[in-house]
A and B are shown apart, each in its own frame.
Chain A
């Protein structure tokens, strides 16, 4: 421990020089840049942009017509601008834009990830790529970052478009709070898409053929969307079988266990976040499965609107869990990729 100060400085310098020699390129940045360029030039980007664009603009168009028609009644209603996003016009079956977004966002996530690793393998570029002086995880990190970037870009562009169209059609300027809510919603949506992107990357590591990975990915999305709400309670009841005998108790226990299970479903978590963030009058997100909460909600007279920070506070657990799920999903893909043989 008697090393003079300048010796340690020399070894410090040497260490940093060695570190610089080891990782000069920041390989993941190069890979992310190339992947992003690939995504932006790809056909799937254009197709998804059109699909999501229609899903965003059509409901917005009709609801803004409805709002304009009902202008005298709704004048002065708080958070009117957000109705553009959460209001569903009868002409499109009452489906609001945020519901369509919730439906289609997983599709976007899967579309930009399902062929991440396996296509490199199929093309014969993976071994060439890994023979360059980059870390192996740079490949999967770069691809994940590029996927998030392209999704964020796409969604931001569409949200800006919808917001601008809304301003033009309604002729009202959104308040700062309303805009902030839209931004938070956008961030949450990118997070939700990232979960599916990580899932798709996991599939691309595990499943050899890009086509099979796409099928499994889209199949999972489709299946969960269609049957998820029926399937998950079933699974929950199977895992936590209700033991009570009276009918009332049975129903209660059953919905409780289903709720426990649903609370870690990314779709439900995202739905909760969106409901709280986009609707300031939402004061509770524990509605599903919790009978007591549902009754008290129904009885309560809505008197107050939450501020944005209160809304976020309300769904903070959901945000944390969704982030954790995304991280865990990516970590799984990451570990499996690092442990995989180059020539599989």
Chain B
């Protein structure tokens, strides 16, 4: 059984040189290498199910619009497990130095996407490039540059934290003295120096997660992929972990892909977010841009002492306000929709009218609202 990377020795290191995604060396594939189709039964099944007229695209066509500083690129990336489409037609571009948050409920395809980016799972269709490399064909080169904190990370319980990191360093082929210095530095950074020589089985969940981050950084990666980094940690631990991540990202100038189903975390860390639902990326972009929505209006949630009806005349009188409606979530609040940010004028006007303001929140700026807007399942209360 040949190792997957061996095939790449024949093809020069040129992403556009006709290396179809899901590199296979079968004769049929070799005859039509430009087709973006994966090997094996999946292709056959696709061919049967999809109309014959499906447009065939070359890899270079797919990658034509990729910016020079793109670190992670996915085009029409799909993964099917039998009938079930875990990811379908994902288009994603993450640039150098960017922190990208992948948001979505459990089972939306976030982990599958991450595994395809790392080359740990072969895409059924489509193209992935990490630092210009195809993870399916050159997994080792990709994995050398990408640090990965898996969902539910585990360590060898019988070994100490330090020994676990040492093992990772060895697997990365680091020289011993350099590795020791690096491990010490990382342990200090994630504040595990005191616990470093305790067995990993005695670690708390938060400590394991921090050790996981140190583990991902041992190889000195330029890309960091974090899969649900804050899952099942207590709130104080989450805050600490986020502060650590924020510091690391700025200090080391990493490109980060972060997946989560908990919203607050992503909000504080990410430059851009993408919403995943049922294997599809529904929306992606900078947070405030997404918050504006398509109609470019701003919604304020306003609450006052006494009956909320007192808000209506005051708010409606302000310039730019389109409507004042009862809040669907809480009948003590009103939703003020305006074409510009009227928070300041509204506060002044309410004070002038003698109505004491007790609650003011910008809707849409919160990820919960975005989540509700973009992820249909979220509205039935499954999301936090």
Contacts and interface: CB of A to CB of B under 8 A. Distances in A.
Contacts of A129: 171
Contact of A22 (B5, B120, B121): B5
A186 to B, nearest CB: 30
B154 A123 contact: yes
B111 interface: yes
A54 interface: no
A334 B3 CA distance: 12
B150 interface: yes
B155 interface: yes
Interface stretch (B136-144, B304-312, B342-350): B136-144
Nearest to A37: B159
A132 B9 contact: no
Interface in A120-143: 123-125, 127-135, 137
7 contacts: A123-B157, A128-B155, A128-B212, A130-B120, A132-B219, A137-B1, A343-B121
B173 interface: yes
A266 interface: no
A342 B146 CA distance: 17
B111 A21 contact: no
B152 interface: yes
B19 interface: no
A335 B1 contact: yes
Interface stretch (A24-32, A153-161, A174-182, A288-296): A24-32
A23 interface: yes
A169 interface: no
Interface in A181-218: none
A44 interface: no
A131 B142 CA distance: 9
Contacts of A18: 9, 13
Going nearest first, the 10 A-B pairs with the smallest beta carbon separation are A124-B154, A131-B148, A25-B173, A132-B171, A127-B150, A123-B154, A133-B144, A133-B143, A133-B140, A342-B120
Contact of B158 (A21, A38, A128, A135): A38
A63 B120 CA distance: 57
A34 B138 CA distance: 26
Contact of A133 (B157, B167, B171): B171
Interface in A290-344: 334-335, 338, 341-343
A255 B157 CA distance: 52
B248 interface: no
A21 B13 CA distance: 13
Contacts of A127: 115, 120, 148, 150-151
B174 to A, nearest CB: 9
A131 B141 CA distance: 11
Given A124-B150, A124-B152, A125-B155, A34 B120 contact: no
Nearest to A29: B170
Contact of A125 (B5, B111, B154): B154
Interface residues of B, number: 37
Contact of B153 (A19, A124, A135, A335): A124
A134 B1 contact: no
Given A124-B150, A132-B172, A135-B5, A22 B118 contact: no
B171 A30 contact: yes
A123 B155 contact: yes
A27 B5 CA distance: 15
Given A38-B158, A135-B3, A135-B5, A22 B141 contact: yes
Contacts of B143: 131-134
A25 B115 contact: no
B168 interface: yes
A6 interface: no
Interface residues of A, number: 33
B1 A132 contact: no
Given A15-B9, A131-B148, A341-B121, A21 B141 contact: yes
B167 A34 contact: yes
A131 to B, nearest CB: 4
Most chain A beta carbons < 10 A, residue from B3, B81, B121: B3
Contacts of A22: 5, 138, 140-141
Nearest to B142: A133
Given A25-B171, A30-B170, A132-B171, A342 B115 contact: yes
Residue from B118, B144, B152, B171 whose CB has the most chain A CB atoms within 10 Å:
B171
A24 to B, nearest CB: 5
Given A123-B155, A123-B156, A134 B3 contact: no
Contacts of B81: 341
A334 B139 CA distance: 19
A141 to B, nearest CB: 11
A134 B150 contact: no
Contacts of B152: 124
Contact of B170 (A21, A25, A135): A25
B202 to A, nearest CB: 15
Contacts of B301: none
A341 B112 CA distance: 10
Contacts of B167: 30, 34
A11 B215 CA distance: 36
A196 to B, nearest CB: 23
Contacts of B170: 25, 30
A31 B170 CA distance: 9
B120 A41 contact: no
B258 to A, nearest CB: 16
Nearest to B146: A131
Nearest to B208: A124
Contacts of B151: 127, 343
Interface string A24-65: 110100110010001001000000000000000000000000
A125 B141 CA distance: 21
B1 A334 contact: yes
A141 B258 CA distance: 32
B140 A23 contact: yes
A193 B50 CA distance: 50
A30 B215 CA distance: 17
A210 to B, nearest CB: 13
A201 B32 CA distance: 39
Given A123-B156, A135-B140, 19 more contacts: A23-B140, A25-B170, A31-B171, A34-B167, A41-B158, A124-B150, A124-B152, A128-B153, A128-B168, A130-B120, A131-B146, A131-B148, A132-B219, A133-B143, A133-B172, A134-B143, A341-B121, A343-B121, A343-B151
A34 B168 CA distance: 11
A309 to B, nearest CB: 35
